Amino acid sequence: MAKKIVVENREWEKKENKFKYCEALENGNILFFDAPPFPFPQDEIDFLLKQKQGGSAARKNIAYKPQIDKITNHDTKDPASALRLKEILSNYSKRVTEFLSVLLSPYAKQWKHDYASFRPFQEKGRKLRLRARNDLLHVDAFPTRPLHGSRILRFFTNINPTENRVWNTSDDFAELAKHFAGKVPVPQSPGYDLLSRLTRKMKFFARKAGVKVPLRSPYDQFMLQMHNFLKENQQFQQNCHKDRWEFPPLSCWAVFTDQVSHAALSGQYALEQTFIIPQKALLCPEKSPVCVLERLSGRNLVDTELLQKQLHL
Ligand SMILES: [Fe+2]
């Protein structure tokens, strides 16, 4: 079960703590900060809190893509307010990155700076299709952006001035994989049979022709299946051991969400920044989901040929 590791008193600046927080995360724990460990101007928070919850609660979160400096899923008709929103999310993204470059310095040179998101919706009672529901326990997986064994690290901030953000967590990936071995099929190793080699070839051609087909490794396929299996498994959702987490106003937390099973039960107005951590940057790679799964199944689940193609196409 995930433990709460309180980070305080600028302990991250001490040399002896260089590896402490990366190890805590890789052991399936949650780093907790009772206030943002970087400047967060009140006028930026006030602007975000004024963003109205849209008519459809089925809408996605607002995403900020740092590589192209763009926001998506934002429906404002007012260009000045869209620009201000983008500026605030960009500022948040930069400040989190700058801070984590110190706190998690062993990762900083190799991570991929992924999307930030603003979550203006009340999670309690939010109407989403079952597989998209945030209030059901799950481990994260990306349906359209395969990770080939890289990790999903997320940093959150609750900017709601009065309401806690409430999570449940349950067992970590290693326990879940052991428990559900056999129920969630582990795909065959890459290039195992003629059909999988042909499918792979067709995907290469499709991508060369400009069609955005995700090149999933067996690991990515498994993680998606596991994500869906857990959300659809009523018995697991009802009977598994749960720990309740209350994240108060202005607190922050960081966690590997592909490892710690989690559910957001309630709360409105949170920010989040994602980092993709490659296997080679990890301090304890043997604890990562891909290694756990390869040990359990005795199969190679990362397709290095696909990975190279993905990087170059
Ligand atoms: Fe999640």
**DSSP per-residue codes, 44-107:** HHHHHHHSPPPS-TTSPPEEEETTTTEEES---S-HHHHHHHHHHHHHHHHHHHHHHHHHTHHH
**DSSP-derived 3-state class of residue 165:** strand
In this predicted structure, what is the pLDDT of residue 245?
98
- Select the more confidently predicted residue: 206 or 275: 275
- Of the listed ranges 77-81, 96-100, 226-230, 274-278, the one predicted with least confidence: 77-81
Find the 264 Cα to ligand 1 centroid distance in Å: 8
CA Rg, the chain, in Å? 20
Find the 155 Cα to ligand 1 centroid distance in Å: 12
pLDDT for 203 beyond 80: no
- Could you tell me the pLDDT band of residue 290, with boundaries at 50, 70 and 90? very high
Find the 132 Cα to ligand 1 centroid distance in Å: 9
- In the numeric block, the tokens 């990087």 are attached to 311
In this predicted structure, what is the pLDDT of residue 281?
97
Find the 194 Cα to ligand 1 centroid distance in Å: 35
pLDDT for 313 beyond 50: no
In this predicted structure, what is the pLDDT of residue 173?
96
Distance CA 221, CA 229 (A): 12
- Could you tell me the pLDDT band of residue 311, with boundaries at 50, 70 and 90? low
- Calculate what percentage of the chain has a pLDDT beyond 90: 71
pLDDT for 195 beyond 80: no
Q: What is the mean pLDDT of residues 191-216?
A: 70
pLDDT for 56 beyond 80: no
- What crossing angle do the helices spanning 194-208 and 304-312 adopt, rounded to 10°? 10
**DSSP-derived 3-state class of residue 35:** coil
**What mean pLDDT is reported for the chain?**
90
- Of the listed ranges 130-134, 166-170, 210-214, 297-301, the one predicted with least confidence: 210-214
Q: Domains in the chain, start-ordered, CATH in brackets? A: 4-312 (2.60.120)
Find the 165 Cα to ligand 1 centroid distance in Å: 14
Find the 44 Cα to ligand 1 centroid distance in Å: 25
Find the 170 Cα to ligand 1 centroid distance in Å: 13
**Within 13 Å, how many C-alpha atoms sit on residue 118's CB side?**
30
pLDDT digits (tens, 9 = 90+) for 91-141: 999 999 999 999 999 999 999 999 999 999 999 998 889 998 999 999 999
Find the 263 Cα to ligand 1 centroid distance in Å: 7
pLDDT for 242 beyond 50: yes
